[in-house]
Structure 1
Amino acid sequence: MRIVVVILSFLTCLSLPLQQAAAQTAASADTVLAGAEAGVAQGVGDSGVEVAYRFGSGDKLRIRVYNEDTISGDYEVDSTGNLSLQLLGQVKAVGLTLTELSALIERRLREEGYMIAPKVAIDVLNYRPFYVLGEVGKPGSYPYVAGMTVLNAIALAGGYTYRAKQSKFELIRGPDNKKVSVDVNATVLPGDIIKVNERFF
């Protein structure tokens, strides 16, 4: 009987550090997950480039205002970055996210006295193209496809030339033309400009 008690005590002592280690591992996993979720909420990709989509000239949108057919319809962001909406006239869309644009239209409808509690839904019908420049086979503009990476974009543009630097690329994004260095796994968004530079021999 004493031997059984000793064995049980020994096993209990062993299990405590294991339980503590498991608890620490779970806590670490929760911390990592929380950080990842925060990154997604802020629209930050693996490369550190902001990936929250913001509208630009050429985007085609379907705007629906519930119980108001006059303003509902298909619209395109023009070269000045505006939408020409029925009732409201010019509404600046460039640089706004879908949530921000919906809120802006709802606020304008309230402030201008058209509706007391408007509800706006926006769908993107067509995204503006992206561009691949520099040392690729066929530089130019290409239709955006969801989930595209820099590597996919370069493949669409005919692949690398023999002079191309294949490790880091310039990506220009947004109304402020922010320029960053990215790798082949970086996410591509509509309107992005990807530049493949010449390597130095």
Structure 2
Amino acid sequence: MNKLKILMIFTLLWMICIGSVIAGETRESVLGPGDTLKIFVYGQPDLTTETRVSESGAITFPLLGEILVDGLTPSAAERKIVNLLKSRDILRNPQVNILTSSLQSQMVSVLGSVRNQGRYPIEGKRSLTDILAMAGGILPEGGDLVTLIRSGGNKFAKEVIDVLEMVRSGDLTRNLNVRSDDLIYVERAPRFYIYGEVQRPGTYRLERNMTVIQALSVGGGLTQRGTERGLRIQRRDAEGNLQIITVKSSDLVEPDDVVYIKESLF
């Protein structure tokens, strides 16, 4: 089940990543502070320049001085320069091309259980799964829940997306488009602990709706001295107090539970 789940997630990310590459040529990011631009004017090598968008959102261009480009796409910035060159009688029919050699203003951070944590550029519209694919996908020990934290002025909005459920249902309405300065955090998969008279005591991934008997199976089953009678779980309540609960084999295991298997007296 675990392998199937991981395969489903990686299949979705691969398909979306391929689709993004195909559509990438039609997408344009908006310009912002820190971006480095190479501007070419056909037939006018003296006007060809490399410039950086300042903190105020402007670039410096020969004969035109400062030009505000913050929030414009490269195509829109090209048209603005063309219109300025025409309106100031500098060139009659200028042809301007802008290449974005470095986009630093549109970045998103990815942390947690992904293959490559870091900051990634947003080139045009990018969805949550686009960015996860760019980060190498979710690690096997990663969980199904992805948290998206977004700044809105002095406030922060938090969205939790269940990636596995999104894949199973085929409903991509939760595959949100990311924005500059968003933070994506991939939770580690929940764990449970099992010890006592089991073949392989230790820490294991907690699957959804896992029962005590399933947890016992993950631990390799009982030893010759073990018994299913008197199964106990150590669990912390909402206040953090440790409780010892007697459970049945059909009861559900919760995150961070410690399952204890007693030794048979007979």
Aligned residues: 147
Indicate which of 48, 61, 65 corresponds to 1:89: 65
| Cα-Cα RMSD | 4.4
Matched position secondary structure for 1:108: helix
The correspondence of residues 12-51 of structure 1 with structure 2, limited to 5 A, is none
Q: State the match for 2:50 in structure 1.
A: 74
Q: Is the 8 A contact 2:41 2:95 kept in 1?
A: yes
Matched position secondary structure for 2:121: coil
Q: State the match for 2:40 in structure 1.
A: 64
Pair 153,188 (structure 1): closer, same or farther in 2 beyond 3 Å: farther
Matched position secondary structure for 1:149: helix
Give 1:102's aligned amino acid: E
Matched position secondary structure for 2:37: strand
Indicate which of 157, 162, 169 corresponds to 2:148: 169
Question: Aligned equivalents of 1:178 and 1:122: distance in 2?
Answer: 34
Give 1:150's aligned amino acid: I
Matched position secondary structure for 1:57: coil
Matched position secondary structure for 1:70: helix
Q: State the match for 2:93 in structure 1.
A: 117
Indicate which of 111, 127, 132 corresponds to 1:151: 132
Give 1:193's aligned amino acid: D
Matched position secondary structure for 1:121: strand
Question: Aligned equivalents of 2:59 and 2:130: distance in 1?
Answer: 29
Question: Aligned equivalents of 1:122 and 1:178: distance in 2?
Answer: 34
Matched position secondary structure for 1:67: coil
Q: Is the 8 A contact 1:165 1:196 kept in 2?
A: no
- Report the CA distance between 1:165 and its aligned residue: 8.3
Post-superposition CA distance 1:11-56 (Å, at most 9, x none): xxxxxxxxxxxxxxxxxxxxxxxxxxxxx8xx8xxxxxxx751011
Higher helix content, 1 or 2: 1
Q: Which segments of 5 or more consecutive residues in structure 2 lack a partner in the other structure?
A: 1-22, 164-174, 189-254, 256-266
Give 1:110's aligned amino acid: K
Question: Aligned equivalents of 1:106 and 1:178: distance in 2?
Answer: 39
Pair 118,179 (structure 1): closer, same or farther in 2 beyond 3 Å: farther
Give 2:130's aligned amino acid: T
- Report the CA distance between 1:131 and its aligned residue: 3.6
Higher strand content, 1 or 2: 2
Q: Is the 8 A contact 2:34 2:55 kept in 1?
A: yes
Q: Is the 8 A contact 1:56 1:95 kept in 2?
A: yes
Matched position secondary structure for 1:150: helix
Q: State the match for 1:142 in structure 2.
A: 119
Indicate which of 155, 170, 183 corresponds to 1:194: 183
With normalisation by structure 2, the TM-score equals 0.42
Q: Which segments of 5 or more consecutive residues in structure 1 lack a partner in the other structure?
A: 1-39, 44-50
Matched position secondary structure for 2:81: helix
Pair 63,142 (structure 1): closer, same or farther in 2 beyond 3 Å: same
- Report the CA distance between 1:166 and its aligned residue: 2.0
With normalisation by structure 1, the TM-score equals 0.53
Pair 145,115 (structure 1): closer, same or farther in 2 beyond 3 Å: same
Question: Aligned equivalents of 2:121 and 2:72: distance in 1?
Answer: 18
- Report the CA distance between 1:76 and its aligned residue: 1.2
Pair 65,153 (structure 1): closer, same or farther in 2 beyond 3 Å: same
Matched position secondary structure for 2:29: coil
